[in-house]
Amino acid sequence: MYKNYFILLLGCLLFASVAHTQTISGFVEDKSSGERLIGANVFDLHSGLGAATNTFGFFSLSISAPQDSILLVVSYIGYERWRRALTSGEDLQLKIQLNPKAVAMDSVEVLAEKLDTITETTEMSVARIPIQQLAKMPALLGEIDVLKALQLLPGVQSGSEGSSGLYVRGGGPDQNLILLDGAPVYNASHLFGFFSVFNSDAVKNIKLTKGGFPARFGGRLSSVIEVNMKEGNNQEMVAKASIGIIASRFMLEGPIRKGKSSFILSGRRTYIDLLARPFMSKESIGGYYFGDVTAKFNHTISTKHRLYLSLYSGIDEFYFKDNYDGSSSEAGLDWGNITTTARWNQLHSQRLFSNTTVIFSRYRFEVYSNSKDSQESYSLKYFSGIENYTARTDFDFIPSPFHYIRFGLSVNHRSFNPGAIQQKNQSDDVDRDELITPNQRQKAIELTGYMEDDWKLNDWLKVNLGDHSTLFIVDDTQYFSLQPRLALRALIGDWAFKTSYAEMRQNIHLLTNAGVGMPTDLWLPATKKVQPQKSRQVALGVSRELLNGAVELSMEGYFKKMDNLIAYQEGASFLGFDKDWQNKIEIGKGRSYGAEFFLHKKAGRTNGWIGYTLSWSNREFEKLNFGRSFPYRFDRRHDIAVAFTHRLSDGIDFSGAWVYGTGNSISLPTATFPVSKPQMPIDPSYYNEGSYYAKRNGVRMGAYHRLDLSLRFYKKRGQGERFWTIGVYNAYSRRNPFFYFMETDYNDVEDTSVRVIKQVSLFPVIPAISYTRTF
């Protein structure tokens, strides 16, 4: 396979070197800020050929047998179209700057240059949400959340009420590769899963791929979420500050050297703990907060070289402190991520672009308890985490408008710390510092190589073909895999018919408790005993554009099979003094399939989408549920989302979102029975009870639905703008189930008792207000 593919690549190189062509390449950016634009369309009206910019705003367009002239047009939603007549002949390298304009339009202009549209690209199972639209959507407690916005898309489900967790096409939370400027984020949740770690003020672009994975993606089974940070305004200083109900945010960006270097710095912090502190006693205080800081720096060395440095640091802390009569105690839980990304963009030629990246990422959590008095001090700590160092080089080679070739190599060193318990005890007689559970630290190396070609065979047929290969080395065990990828698009009339096939490998596992977004989930490597996760996914879909491109319609069906999934044994948990984690788990398989419908309106005074998913997701473990298949906890038969924004007038936007979903699958006992009879003088009619479960996850919670609404008022103030946002979460106060529990109700009159199931709901109707000002 590799031999044939290299022959194909060599042929493309040979063709590119001997054919009489003119190549126009360069970068497309925002004129007002210098931000590089991702996915801008570059089109020659005379030849009918075009290209689209990559993640770093680079494009390359080669035109064979040049005409007398070239009429180059560059377009990007929300910007004025750039148009220029060029003289044919020699190769050209351009820096194209687009002027921003208002995105709200009453009508849609018909464009000849349709390149990166839903019908033209081989991509399927891909979604992008413009940050400008995200800022207008309703938000829980006024906090804009990029991951919650993804939950409104078909094939993507939330774990539970208010959670920012993602369950994509029947997969688990560990099967999502979440990248912040290329760095993996291992826990993307604040506040036990209710908010994500991404500050929307610093985000430029977000893209979700949930199937039909190109070869450049690997390492997870279910999705890839690319979050790209803003680069910073290289023309002028800009500041932004927001005050909300639970948190405040700030953002500062500007040039270091105008037109050459820029920076962006953003941060936020909740202040519920600070507001509550005056109402607490001096002896006992407690609280919770989260905060994060994001920074990015970039410098243009020359027209061919550019450097980027991205940083993120976030922390959550829940704590309690008590001081009384000379003694003190404290306990708490804290967790957080740190990521660092250094990038070097290099333009080797008009047709070859490379990006070299060095990445550090770390996630760590800790549970602690400390006590001290005049006689003795004692502390107990449980800690766990994962960290990795990555070096990779990616190449984009565009020999002609009919081939877009990507290839690259990477090496990833991971260090896993599945958990350790440390005890310290100091007194006059004792001085002890020991690990009760030894630290089972493991290290692993993963080598990766990939190659893919997006190949336009003719006007109606386009194919993306490639392979992603990995070699995973842990202890004395090695796992090698070839993961072929194929995506095909056939254009028949106005309809684009697409199909894709992808094999994926995941060399790490997440051993998770039942809760969603809990920081106690453990990241673990594949071992000799626990093999890497595997999946095979096939998808088939159809799409088209309506109303001159203002509306996109897509329908997809998919089938995914997963192997080597892990789950805790009955009664096991992350804590334990006597077992290695490999002896606490069961290994099984999963299967998911379904159909998705998506109608997206992208332009006009009103825009938004309607998404519907019909799906099934099952699991099967030899020693769970008597070896029979059972529904995945987050199996959801029907899932509906309607989201919209409407410009009421200049300065006022109205938005809303309504969601409906079949209830999650849970396990509840179908019968109880006595297991022991206590001794007298306890009431002889009293028995301890056991529970019988006929089926794992055999009961459905009640359906989930809610309506969120938001009004946004904005107005020019001097050189900046001010925004008031008023919103309401769960507008009709639906009492959605968060969890169920069983309780015994007694009837003293009749001297009887009955076991009943009771529901706990989390959020009633919640209003929110926030104020934002830019300078």
- At 140, give phi and psi (nearest 5°): -65, 120
Strand ranges inside 6-120, DSSP E: 21-30, 41-44, 50-52, 58-64, 69-75, 82-87, 92-98
Average pLDDT over residues 351-378: 87
Q: Mean pLDDT across the chain, nearest whole number?
A: 84
The answer to whether the Cα torsion of 667, 670, 675, 681 is positive or negative is positive
741 CB burial (10 A radius; 0-12, 13-18, 19+):
exposed
Confidence of residue 756 (pLDDT cuts 50, 70, 90): confident
DSSP-derived secondary structure letter, 217: -
Q: Are 407 and 450 in contact (CB under 8 A)?
A: yes
Q: How far is CA 152 from CA 636, 642, 658, in A?
A: 14, 7, 9
Tens digits of per-residue pLDDT, 551-586? 899 999 999 999 999 887 776 665 554 567 778 888
What is the per-residue pLDDT for 274? Answer: 72
Residue in this structure with the two tokens 């088209």, named with its chain if needed: 544
Q: Do the first three CATH levels of 2-98 and 227-664+768-774 match, i.e. the same topology?
A: no
DSSP string covering 487-556, please? EEEEEETTEEEEEEEEEEEE-EEEE--SSSS-TT-EEEE--SSSPPEEEEEEEEEEEEEEGGGTEEEEEE
DSSP string covering 503-516, please? EEEE-EEEE--SSS
Assess whether pLDDT exceeds 60 at residue 499. yes
Average pLDDT over residues 322-347: 87
Average pLDDT over residues 734-739: 86
CATH class of 2-98: mainly beta
What is the per-residue pLDDT for 474? Answer: 93
Assess whether pLDDT exceeds 80 at residue 749. no
What is the per-residue pLDDT for 78? Answer: 79
**d(Cα 250, Cα 292) in Å, to the nearest integer?**
11
Q: Are 256 and 263 in contact (CB under 8 A)?
A: yes
Paired residues of 448 in beta bridges:
410, 470
Assess whether pLDDT exceeds 50 at residue 683. no
Average pLDDT over residues 171-188: 91
**d(Cα 459, Cα 462) in Å, to the nearest integer?**
8
What is the per-residue pLDDT for 549? Answer: 79
Confidence of residue 750 (pLDDT cuts 50, 70, 90): low
Nearest C-alpha neighbor of 265 from the set 231, 217, 301: 231
What is the per-residue pLDDT for 20? Answer: 61
What is the per-residue pLDDT for 429? Answer: 63
Confidence of residue 659 (pLDDT cuts 50, 70, 90): very high
Mean pLDDT is lowest, of 102-116, 135-149, 223-237, 738-752, for: 102-116
Average pLDDT over residues 594-599: 96
Percent of all residues in the chain with a pLDDT value above 70, rounded to a whole number: 83
Assess whether pLDDT exceeds 90 at residue 691. no
How many other CB atoms sit within 10 Å of the CB of residue 340? 18
How many other CB atoms sit within 10 Å of the CB of residue 329? 16
Query: Which has more confidence, 319 or 482?
Result: 482
**d(Cα 258, Cα 417) in Å, to the nearest integer?**
45
Nearest C-alpha neighbor of 72 from the set 58, 82, 80, 62: 82
359 CB burial (10 A radius; 0-12, 13-18, 19+):
buried
**d(Cα 643, Cα 658) in Å, to the nearest integer?**
7
Q: Are 521 and 232 in contact (CB under 8 A)?
A: no
Assess whether pLDDT exceeds 70 at residue 754. yes
Average pLDDT over residues 180-190: 90
Q: How far, in whole angstroms, is CA 204 from its chain's centroid?
A: 14
Confidence of residue 64 (pLDDT cuts 50, 70, 90): confident
**d(Cα 223, Cα 132) in Å, to the nearest integer?**
23
What is the per-residue pLDDT for 523? Answer: 86
Assess whether pLDDT exceeds 60 at residue 517. no
Mean pLDDT is lowest, of 46-60, 77-91, 318-332, for: 318-332
What is the per-residue pLDDT for 739? Answer: 79
**d(Cα 466, Cα 452) in Å, to the nearest integer?**
4
Nearest C-alpha neighbor of 265 from the set 312, 213, 325, 329: 312
What is the per-residue pLDDT for 686? Answer: 42
Q: Are 467 and 102 in contact (CB under 8 A)?
A: no
Confidence of residue 6 (pLDDT cuts 50, 70, 90): very low
SS3 of residue 275 by DSSP: helix
Tens digits of per-residue pLDDT, 384-405? 889 999 999 999 999 988 999 9
CATH 3.40.50.920 applies to domain 227-664+768-774: no
Average pLDDT over residues 629-639: 91
Tens digits of per-residue pLDDT, 76-109? 877 889 999 887 778 888 999 999 875 444 433 4
Q: Are 218 and 206 in contact (CB under 8 A)?
A: no
Q: Are 537 and 560 in contact (CB under 8 A)?
A: yes
Tens digits of per-residue pLDDT, 243-265? 988 888 999 999 999 989 999 99
Q: How many helices (H) and strands (E) does the chain have?
A: 4, 48
What is the per-residue pLDDT for 617? Answer: 95
Average pLDDT over residues 609-636: 91
> What number of residues does the chain have?
775
**d(Cα 95, Cα 115) in Å, to the nearest integer?**
20
Assess whether pLDDT exceeds 70 at residue 411. yes
Assess whether pLDDT exceeds 60 at residue 235. yes
The answer to whether the Cα torsion of 299, 301, 306, 312 is positive or negative is negative
Residue in this structure with the two tokens 């399939």, named with its chain if needed: 593
Mean pLDDT is lowest, of 217-221, 325-329, 465-469, 642-646, for: 325-329
Nearest C-alpha neighbor of 717 from the set 650, 774, 771, 649: 774
What is the per-residue pLDDT for 113? Answer: 43
649 CB burial (10 A radius; 0-12, 13-18, 19+):
exposed
Domain boundary assignment for the chain: 2-98, 227-664+768-774
**pTM of full prediction above 0.85:** yes
Confidence of residue 4 (pLDDT cuts 50, 70, 90): low
Average pLDDT over residues 666-693: 58
Average pLDDT over residues 124-135: 81
What is the per-residue pLDDT for 541? Answer: 95
Assess whether pLDDT exceeds 90 at residue 361. yes
What is the per-residue pLDDT for 257? Answer: 93
Confidence of residue 643 (pLDDT cuts 50, 70, 90): very high
